[in-house]
Amino acid sequence: MADAEHKSFVGADEVREFPSGRAEIIEIGGGTVGRYTAQPGWRWSEHIKPIAGTELCEAPHFQYHLSGTLRVRMADGTEFDVGPGEVSVLPPGHDAWVVGDEPCVIVDWGGAMTWARG
**Nearest in space to 95 (alpha carbons), one of 109, 77, 82, 113:** 77
Within its chain, how far is the Cα of 28 from the centroid?
Answer: 17
d(Cα 11, Cα 88) in Å, to the nearest integer? 26
pTM for the complete prediction? 0.90
pLDDT tens digits, 21-52? 999 999 999 999 999 999 999 999 999 999 99
Sequence ranges of the domains in the chain = 21-108
**Residue 88 corresponds to which amino acid?**
S
For the segment(s) 21-108, the CATH number from 3.40.50.170, 2.60.120.10, 3.40.50.970, 3.90.930.12 is: 2.60.120.10
Percent of the chain scored above 90 by pLDDT?
87
pLDDT at 110: 87
